[in-house]
Amino acid sequence: MQPSAILESALYVTDLDAAENFYAEVLGLERIAKVEGRHAFFRCGQGVLLLFVAEATREPPPPGAKLPVPPHGANGQGHLCFAASGDDIERWKAHLTGKGVAIEADFIWPPKPGQERGGRSIYFRDPSGNSLEFAEPKIWNL
């Protein structure tokens, strides 16, 4: 057996309000749920991006909790890559720069077998320091 797709991805943030504003206002994602001081969830294509305050997710649920999700959390900066076409990456770069978001790297990956040119990636950070990327899916032969 093999999973068919990744349904949700999680990042851990230090300031939920700043992160929520960044993902909604800068990246344009639709917020679908929020619990103040704990998490904000966003729709992204066919998946969901979960933003958690790590300290708030490390406590086990109380006995008899309606949603008995096990404790989790991470320390430090994470990474997430959004798929985009080469033309869209150029537009994202201009959009992010216009919003005051620094682009840390912009490069073309080495070509995969059968490709003339590798895919392009740009890297930037969210307010919590998580490394974010827009990349052409062909970097993974997708």
Which tens digit of pLDDT belongs to each residue from 93-123? Answer: 999 999 999 999 999 999 888 888 889 999 9
The yes-or-no verdict on residue 26 having pLDDT over 90 is yes
The domain 8-66+75-140 having CATH identifier 2.40.160.60: the answer here is no
127's CB contacts (< 8 A; 6+ apart) are 13, 14, 15, 18, 19, 21, 22
What pTM does this model have? 0.93
The yes-or-no verdict on residue 6 having pLDDT over 90 is yes
The yes-or-no verdict on residue 75 having pLDDT over 90 is no
Strands 8-12 and 47-52: parallel
The yes-or-no verdict on residue 59 having pLDDT over 90 is no
